[in-house]
Chains A and B, each alone.
Chain A
Amino acid sequence: MESLQFFATSWLSPDLMLLTALGTFLGIYVGAIPGLSVTMAVSILISFTFAWDINNALCLMVGIYMGGVYGGSRTAILLNIPGAPAAIATALDGYPLAKKGMAGQAIGLSTVMSVVGGFVGIFVLAVAAPLVSDFALAFQPRDYMMLGILGIMLVGSLSGESLAKGMFAGALGMLIGTVGLDPLTAEERFTFGHVELWEGIHPVAVMIGLFGLAESLEQLHHLDKAIIKQKVSRIVPSWKDVKRFLPLSLQTSSIGVIIGALPGTGGEIAALMAYDHAKRVSKKPEVPFGQGAKEGLIAAESSNNAAVGGAFIPMLTLGIPGDAVTAVFIGALFIHGLNPGPLLLETKPDMFWFMVGTLTMANIFLLIFGLTGIKIFSKLIQCPKGILIPVIFVLSIVGAYSINNSVADIWWMLGFGVLGYFMKLYGYQVGPVILGVILSRLIDENWRRAIIAEREDLGAFFAGIFASPLSLILLSAIMLILLSKVSFIKEWVGRIARS
């Protein structure tokens, strides 16, 4: 009963309600603009809300987080520039929908599914937080590595017409991900002696270049082409549609919660893995994946919002951040005089339920703000290309610069923009590159950690996998997908079945 009272704290105070609403609203725009990240916005808020009551500050921050994760989908759908890495998977099918004049519908559907995902995340946080965080702690380096491999197999589905080109792109991405001082040994990799390269190439710079800039450059070929008329009559998805896609979105949301709760992975990996899952389980999408399949959009959007609730699980139960944003939340709680450690749940149960309550409220505001104003947003891309394209260029530059306040990131963004332009021209997909960049460190670091922990004994490494049910499940999943994907094995199995 007490928890209910804590849960309702933010619901009973008009001030807190207003702040949550404001946060969610702002968050949508923070998320939508590439280069402005939720992490950044929340850390600015720390100084800004320093003298405030902690509840007020948290309402604003939670709103920004919730809205921000969702907001990335807006620009991903409308302009093919994911507002944040978590929205990369959204762009894969969302942008093709906008090209067909269905931007309004795509945003409507992604809003509803984000909210569904958000609720799944919050629900798991509320009822099973200690359980899930124990589960998340059970993940060993080898399990993270296999999770990364599971993710990289998505290259197979993102390759388009040529698997060789897709694999090239994926491997290139992995290599880009290793640039910089190796975080484990501080060995320089591909830095060519430049200190500026020590930190590596930021995935967001690669992302803005490959998606936003390359796309805009390509658009210059079609300046004379008429602007696509956006249908904005049916924005709210029909109940029938929601019902039809609900099972899928519940599945992908569960993926989102788990990946979000793992301390080493966040929303961007969740969305990509959920996308892969959707592609595997949707036997008959209305349109193929990559050309505007609603299933792909749903998977990406429900899972990355579910990851929000997931990321709070280890943070609120153990004081271990589930992702970069929750790390800043921990800092904020410290500054406000709380100790967000494993004792928080015992000493301040009100904080836990207050967070759950505020997240719930932010999620509801998300539905409201997400479904209003879509018309204006979709009209935005109907603005003449001669104005829109220059604006995208400036936004890309500012976005790249603001990642780290560095001109070097502008150069990377431009470089990858030009590379992406030629890749697209010659039939390479850019998706696998960014996939590789995101998963590179996860695989590289954890592989080495796993093998070092076993003192470089491969036998012990495999023995470890076979001794742990979790590792075995992951290994079987990888094997199954491999078997189902490799066509010659498929043929072979088919031949055996026939004979």
Chain B
Amino acid sequence: MHETQSKAPGELFFSLILLLVSCVLFWQAYQIDEFSSLKSPGAFPMAAAAVMFVTSSITFYNTAVKHFRVDGLAKKRISIMPLPVVIILATLLAFAVVVESVGFLITAYVFLFITIKFLYQSGFLKTAALSLAVLAVIYVVFRLVFQVVLPEGIVPEREIIAWFESLFK
């Protein structure tokens, strides 16, 4: 576990953000009910935020000290945001943005296709087939067996299911 002994880029920045977040949250907790009483709904959140503030200050101080000590270790730097992480995060965000309007089936299929193509680097047809297989399994398990109604979006799923059922009636 010596990895973290060296300074990862952005560590100081991250600990600073946590410190700032703690301050904001403490302020928010204070706003709930101020220091009114022991039973107030704000008492516990304030205590938690106070612990966050103290511990993040300690961490920030430690990191800052380390920051100056190990500045020569630039070679050991690990990339915090390699390209795959950036791309995957972007597609995940896009997924969450459009899933409700476009619908789960289409979004998930496109997502699977892009990510499998990118990470597995298989051929076009193979990727298409793989994504379809994965999606089919997920759909059957969640939507049909466990009746989790995934966002339908532009696909009139219920009509299609009803039509499908009517074929067997």
A binds B: yes
Using CB atoms and an 8 Å cutoff, list the residues of chain A in contact with chain B: 29-30, 33, 35-36, 40-41, 44, 160-162, 164-165, 167-168, 170-172, 174-175, 178, 182, 184-185, 187-190, 217, 220-221, 223, 384-387, 389-391, 393-395, 397-398, 401-402, 405, 407, 410-411, 414, 418, 421-422, 425-427, 436, 440, 443-444, 447-448, 451-452, 456, 458
22 pairs of residues in contact across A and B, judged by CB atoms under 8 Å: A36-B142, A41-B146, A162-B59, A164-B62, A171-B55, A175-B48, A185-B41, A187-B42, A221-B78, A223-B84, A386-B121, A386-B122, A390-B111, A390-B112, A390-B134, A391-B134, A394-B135, A402-B148, A405-B149, A426-B4, A440-B48, A458-B38
* Given A36-B146, A386-B119, A407-B96, 4 other A-B residues pairs in contact with their CB atoms under 8 A: A29-B141, A175-B45, A393-B92, A427-B4
User: How many B residues face the partner with a CB closer than 8 A?
Assistant: 67
Q: How far is the CB of B78 from chain A (nearest CB, A)?
A: 8
* Contact partners of A386 in chain B: CB under 8 A: 116, 119-122
Q: A217-B85, A387-B116 are in contact. Are A171 and B92 (CB under 8 A)?
A: no
- With A390-B112, A407-B151 as known contacts, state yes or no: A171 contacts B49, CB within 8 Å: yes
By Cβ-Cβ distance, the 8 closest A-B pairs, closest first, are A386-B120, A427-B4, A386-B119, A171-B51, A390-B115, A168-B55, A444-B44, A182-B41
Chain B neighbourhood of A397, CB < 8 A: 92, 95-96, 99, 108
CB distance from B160 to the nearest CB of A (A): 19
Whether B102 sits at the interface, judged by CB under 8 Å, is: no
Whether, in the assembled complex, B39 has its beta carbon less than 8 Å from a beta carbon of chain A, the answer is yes
- Give chain B residues whose Cβ lies under 8 Å from the Cβ of A162: 59, 62
Central interface residue in B112, B148, B150, by most chain A CB within 10 Å: B148
Residues of B within 8 A of A (CB): 1, 4, 8, 10-11, 14-15, 18, 22, 25, 28-29, 32-33, 37-39, 41-45, 48-49, 51-52, 55-56, 58-59, 62, 78-80, 82, 84-85, 88-89, 92-93, 95-96, 99-100, 104, 108, 111-112, 115-116, 119-122, 130, 134-135, 138, 141-142, 146-151
Q: Which residues of B contact A390 (CB under 8 A)?
A: 111-112, 115-116, 119, 134
Chain B residues with CB below 8 A from A167, complex form: 51, 55
Chain B residue nearest to A384 (CB atoms) is B120
- Residues of A contacting B: mostly: helix
Is A389 a contact of B51 with CB atoms below 8 Å? no
CB distance from B83 to the nearest CB of A (A): 9
What are the residues of chain B within 8 A of A395 when measuring CB–CB?
138
Contact call A394/B149, Cβ cutoff below 8 A: no
Q: Quick one: closest B residue to A172, CB to CB?
A: B52
